Amino acid sequence: MTERRPDEQILDELTGQLDRTRRLLMGSPEEAAELALERMGGEDQQDARIAVELASIAPLADPGGFPEAHRLVMRALEVLEREGSRNPPVGRLGPFKPVAEFLVELVASYIVQSFAQGVAGRLRTLYTRREAQCAPELPERRLLARARIEMDRVAPGYGGGGLGTPILIAGAAVPLLASVAQSAGAIPFSSRYVQLGGIGILFVLFFAISSVLLRGAAVAHRRSRLIMGRPLALLWETIGHAGNPPRDDSVTFATLAIVLTALVWFVLPAFAVVLFVVLR
């Protein structure tokens, strides 16, 4: 059979839509709507996966291994919160090393604590739902009930986020920024050399921020995977048919760092060229 052209495929689709509309107006609305949903929502692979999920009615895939896997994850969460962002490597930066370590640890701590909070919340919800799926006489119900009670107790301790320190730093910087703004009235901002200096300051600032974000995200991702990767995988195997384990937000921070890096290396130099060459 010859392959149909794109215009013929579009014509067939329009014809099908007109036919469904005609049946909706002239025949049974429920039947026409059902046929339309069947046609537009067909996904064979997705439907098969959903069928497998519905057929797997066992609350736990491995009841014998579940308690040990649960305890291993609880231990890993404690280690993650304590060691996930501690003493990050920043390289040789001379007198700036303590400041860089503090900022990188701040970013890594935010990612790690958010990840720990997400894992604790996901487990509490998952245990509650699987417990509700168990028949009262099944031994798995007691296992899940015990694990769910433990998660209810420990989950509030993983507060996540850790935004208190950045807010305090921003609040302390407000008076400094105000004084700088008051003294900036004497600076000739119309001078191109002053504008070039401003672009240079932005270059250094954005480069430093992107480096801190990328380093912090790398530290958090490596340690989260090292501490939580295997325990979570084992627990998800014993639970069974629970989707994918939680993941940290390091990719989001790394993406932001890459965007800032592109801004540093391409946008700011292009702006400087336009300012001093084109508008000269």
pLDDT at 60: 93
Determine the longest span between alpha carbons in the chain, in angstroms: 84
pLDDT band at 164 (very low <50, low <70, confident <90, very high): very low
The number of angstroms, rounded, from the C-alpha of 249 to the middle of its chain's C-alpha atoms is 4
pLDDT at 249 over 50: yes
- Tokens 């433990």 — which residue? 150
Q: Which of 29-33, 50-54, 191-195, 275-279 has the highest mean pLDDT?
A: 50-54
For 35-91, the DSSP string reads HHHHHHT--HHHHHHHHHHHH---S-S-TTTHHHHHHHHHHHHHHHHHHSSSS----
pLDDT (average), residues 265-274: 72
135-138: long-range contacts, CB 8 A cutoff, minimum separation 24:
138/59
More confident residue, 3 or 120: 120
Does 180 reside within a domain? no
- What crossing angle do the helices spanning 139-154 and 66-83 adopt, rounded to 10°? 10
pLDDT at 248: 92
Residues 11 and 81 in one domain: no
Does 175 reside within a domain? no
Residues 152 and 123 in one domain: yes
Mean of pLDDT over the chain: 78
The number of angstroms, rounded, from the C-alpha of 123 to the middle of its chain's C-alpha atoms is 17
pLDDT at 234 over 70: yes
Task: For the beta carbon of residue 217, count every other beta carbon within 10 angstroms.
Answer: 25
> What letter would DSSP give residue 5?
P
pLDDT (average), residues 41-53: 67
- Tokens 């014809």 — which residue? 15
pLDDT at 2: 54
pLDDT at 62 over 90: yes
Q: Which of 160-169, 184-193, 223-232 has the highest mean pLDDT?
A: 223-232
Does 243 reside within a domain? yes
Residues 91 and 162 in one domain: yes
pLDDT at 182 over 60: no
pLDDT at 205: 81
pLDDT at 209: 85
Tokens, residue 206:
């954005």
Find the domain containing 24 and state its range. Answer: 6-42
Task: To the nearest 10°, report the CA torsion of 101, 107, 112, 113.
Answer: 110
Residues 65 and 34 in one domain: no
Q: Are 269 and 90 in contact (CB under 8 A)?
A: no
d(CA 44, CA 142): 37
pLDDT band at 167 (very low <50, low <70, confident <90, very high): very low
Number of domains the chain is built from: 2
pLDDT band at 206 (very low <50, low <70, confident <90, very high): confident
Residues 214 and 148 in one domain: yes
Does 140 reside within a domain? yes
pLDDT at 189 over 60: no
The number of angstroms, rounded, from the C-alpha of 124 to the middle of its chain's C-alpha atoms is 19
Does 84 reside within a domain? yes
pLDDT at 232: 97
Residues 155 and 239 in one domain: yes
More confident residue, 180 or 159: 159
d(CA 23, CA 21): 5
